[in-house]
Amino acid sequence: MSADAVDCWLDEKSEVLATSSLAMVHSILRRSITHAQRHDKVARNVAELVETPEGQVGRPSKSLSLEQAKAVLSGPAEGSWIHAYVVVSLLVGIRTEEVRPLKWNHVHLSPADGVVPHIEVWRSVRRRGEMKTRKSRRTLAVPRQVVTVLKAHRAEQRRRREALGLAWDPEGFVFGTDSGDQRTADQVRRSFRALLRRAGVDQPEKWTPRELRHSFVSLLSDHGIPIEVIARVVGHSTTIITETVYRKQLRPVITEGAEAMDDIFDGGGVATP
């Protein structure tokens, strides 16, 4: 067992458990390994080398409908940094703690040699550095709309920095402040809710940026993407984790056969429960 493996495991549990429950689980693991050390079963306590991540806030998560998502993507906030942030989160599906530390040198909008535009998801504010496990450190292709929005956002960010007399930093934060600092979770949350308000989404104060990822999963599932593919894209080690975390967003498997037969034989479709 390595410290990185423990970190990844706690990170996966953070999408299911509350912060207090995570702290308890982490504490039990530390004590268990300490007990093993006393009996010369392990050389070091790797659980002492990682931090307890922040967990869920204790309320059911929700996701944007397709109509709401379209309203957010084409709303009056277009051209702002928070609009670009939401486009990446909603259309690529990476965690909000992976979006905030994202840097331009990990964003490839015009790669050479026929490689598709992609983002390297290698950092998380939870881990305080680069992620090294195969599942959590992943490279994701990005949709055309993301490429267009990010190119415009990069040009605007460059223009704003030049207006402040600051040089362009090719390794700067994609969604950083004008001075180049990483935005805080609170700054993102406030701006996100303001964007939802302007887009006409009801009760924007009850939404959080992490629900963009839930929306991503819901939209993929509604489109018929297999859960194995969704799990790989969102960085889960197994589909069990995906089914547990996003059980309300995933289309019930039991309806898929009937819907497919209706499509095949033009039976008019069945209502989704």
Q: Which residues are catalytic?
A: 95, 132, 213, 236, 246
Whether the Cβ atoms of residue 4 and residue 127 lie closer than 8 Å to each other = no
**How many Å apart are CA 101 and CA 172, to the nearest integer?**
9
Bridge partners, residue 195, by sequence: none
What region does 40 belong to: left with phi over 0, alpha with psi -120 to 50, or beta?
left
Amino acid at 219: L
Bridge partners, residue 18, by sequence: 56
Tokens 């039976």 identify what position? 267
Element spanning 82, H or E: helix 81-92
Q: What is the dihedral of CA 233, 236, 154, 82, to 10 degrees?
A: 110
Burial class (CB in 10 A: 0-12, 13-18, 19+), 160: middle
**How many Å apart are CA 174 and CA 156, to the nearest integer?**
11
CB atoms within 10 A of CB 14: 21
Element spanning 38, H or E: helix 19-38
Q: What phi and psi values does residue 127 have, to the nearest 5 degrees?
A: -90, -5
Q: Edge-to-edge strands of the sheet including 118-121?
A: 107-108, 118-121, 138-141
